[in-house]
Structure 1
Amino acid sequence: MKIAVLMSTFNGEHYLEEQLDSIISQNLDSRDCKIEIYIRDDGSSDSTLSLLKKYSIEYKNISVINDEENIGVKLSFFKLVKEVDADFYLLSDQDDIWSNNKIQYFVDIFKNNKTEGMSFGIYSDMWVADKKGKSTGKLLKKGTSKEPSNNKYIEFDELMFSNKVTGASFGFDKLAGQKMRLLSEKIVQQSAMHDEIFAMVIAATGTLFYSSEPLTYYRQHEHNVLGYSGIQRLSILDKFSHLKSIINGDMQLINDVHAITKVFYTEQTDNIEQLFHAKSIFNQYRYLKIAVRRANSQHYMQLIILYLLILMKWNGGKKSYD
């Protein structure tokens, strides 16, 4: 079984070695699994490339892709997904630290939960870590909207209300990768983030699994592209008091979900597809009620009212990435 770890780097000299060491030193059954690490540098101007060259010479399973072009993190990861063939993929940030059993844990869940003919993905919780990579004792997802609402499997409808998946703790199988390649570069580039749109593809075409086991130390420092954001952890009730600052982010999620329904029409996407085609607020309410029920929010009516308001604004603006 070929496992591909995909990493995009950009001026990551400060923490890159510690991340690479944690991947290289994984406890894994080598009789069954082979790890290959693919790193695309996105135009670094510091010593990142020289560090990568050193590692690729010492470890033959590390491949470095240097296009000398800065295309941004979303397209950089998308390019890796399109160009690398593997049985199972894991995405990696350049500045975190992995628990030494992370890959084996993900592979075991994949083997025990995979449904033939359906794409499969898994994401897990993470320890929020300080600048030195030490756990702060806080978990990124526990007790927030990023936890699954019902059980270990994420409904496609849920992803319209919250971007649950963080790429630093995300893996998926070959079929999921093949489905992702059906996306256009424009959809990926205009999405909120690559991990979010990849997760939507999996939830639309297969099974998106969640594990509460923290397997990554999610390092927080001054150079994070994204990080431990308090606003991402707001409850539904809090969202009403932060409506102006939240509404654009929620509209982005709606745009991304809508774009996915235009590429994949499946049983999983049917309700949201009907919601987007609803001509009246009554029919919007009908399908939104089903979506909110699937999300199993404890703030049922508040969430429906909030998203009816957001949909009214969204319907007058950009709906998809044509």
Structure 2
Amino acid sequence: MDKRSKTRISVCMATYNGRHFIEEQLNSIFPQLSEYDELIISDDHSTDGTWEFLLELKAKEPRIKLFQNKGRGVIANFTNAIQQSTHSIIFLSDQDDVWQPDKVEKMLPYFENPQTQVVVSDLVIVDNEFKVLAPSYQAMRRTRAGFWHNLVKSSYIGAGMAFRSEFKAIILPIPPTVPMHDMWIGLLADYYHGVVFIPDPLVYYRRHGLNASEIKTTASRIQQFKWRWNALCLVRERIKEVKKK
């Protein structure tokens, strides 16, 4: 049995009114899953037929596990999906991107280092027709590891992120007031020096005006400072809780 067949993965996807896009993403993910892997999908009360489509697909695809979001919003939706995962490596997935065919194969080997908690790949930013808007998210954002660097300007992006299941004990529950789930996961992993950024552009990251997240914030500097201060306080509080266990 090779290493890939021994490593079972959970892909955690959050959906909301993504019926127009989701099939392309699913078609890019399923060929990379073994029969033992799972695709966890948490839906945030979609009204465009996404949930009905997923119910039909689940009847034919046993690797899909469907859940409805217990709360509202992106953070609660990803939290719900991550909570339901059962395998050793967790990949996060947006509903409207497309994975490169070797994404899983290229990311898994980095977890052979026991220090590594989170791996983040590069992305190709594209529009709705897959026209390239930026060939490298990492170059555009000047991404790198480092807690303080990423507190000021976050390098983390969930669409390119995978992490160990043991890390759930630290990141969950994700506070609803953090700026975004991927920043929370990355900052905690960075605190433990466990983040690896890899240069491979393994996701077509689609920007089409309907996304639930944005690359560049339009918030004021005061609001951004408040978010960062709040994130710092929440990370410190969680680390204290972990040390007490």
Range class of TM-score, shorter chain? 0.7 to 0.9
CA contact (8 A) 2:15 2:95 kept: yes
Match of 1:225 among 207, 212, 228: 212
Q: Counterpart of 1:179? A: 170
CA contact (8 A) 2:170 2:238 kept: no
Residue 43 of structure 1, CA deviation: 0.4
Q: Aligned partners of 2:40, 2:55: CA distance in 1, in Å?
A: 12
CA deviation vs aligned residue, 1:83-138 (integer Å, no higher than 9, x gap): 32220001100000000110111111112x322xxx60011210011102343353
Q: Aligned partners of 2:184, 2:215: CA distance in 1, in Å?
A: 19
Structure with the larger RCO, 1 or 2 (CA within 8 Å, 6+ apart): 2
CA contact (8 A) 2:37 2:87 kept: no
CA contact (8 A) 2:74 2:212 kept: no
CA contact (8 A) 2:141 2:155 kept: no
1:158 aligns with 2:158: no
Residue 66 of structure 1, CA deviation: 2.8
Give me the identity figure in percent: 25
Flag structure 2 segments of 5+ consecutive residues without an equivalent: 1-6
CA contact (8 A) 1:162 1:253 kept: no
The structure-2 alpha-carbon separation of the partners of 1:247 and 1:213, relative to structure 1 and needing over 3 Å to count, comes to farther
Q: Counterpart of 1:205? A: 192
CA deviation vs aligned residue, 1:142-171 (integer Å, no higher than 9, x gap): 1434x11xxxxx222222211111111111
CA contact (8 A) 2:44 2:77 kept: yes
SS at match of 2:120: strand
CA deviation vs aligned residue, 1:247-301 (integer Å, no higher than 9, x gap): 32133122202211122159xxxxxxxxxxxxxxxxxxxxxxxxxxxxxxxxxxx
Higher strand share: 2
1:43 aligns with 2:40: no
The structure-2 alpha-carbon separation of the partners of 1:138 and 1:62, relative to structure 1 and needing over 3 Å to count, comes to same
1:98 aligns with 2:99: yes
Q: Counterpart of 1:245? A: 220
Flag structure 1 segments of 5+ consecutive residues without an equivalent: 149-153, 233-243, 267-322
Q: Counterpart of 1:237? A: none
SS at match of 2:135: strand
Match of 1:24 among 22, 30, 36: 30
Measured on the aligned residues, the alpha-carbon RMSD in Å equals 2.2
Higher radius of gyration, 1 or 2: 1
1:254 aligns with 2:229: yes
Q: Counterpart of 2:59? A: 57
Q: Aligned partners of 1:124, 1:110: CA distance in 2, in Å?
A: 13
SS at match of 2:201: coil
Residue 218 of structure 1, CA deviation: 0.5
TM-score normalised by L of structure 2: 0.87
Equivalent residue runs for 1:1-322 within 5 Å: 1-26=7-32, 30=34, 34-66=36-68, 70-111=71-112, 113-115=113-115, 120-145=117-142, 147-148=143-144, 154-181=145-172, 183=173, 188-229=175-216, 245-265=220-240
CA contact (8 A) 1:201 1:260 kept: yes
Give the aligned length: 235
Name the aligned partner's letter for residue 55 of structure 2.
K
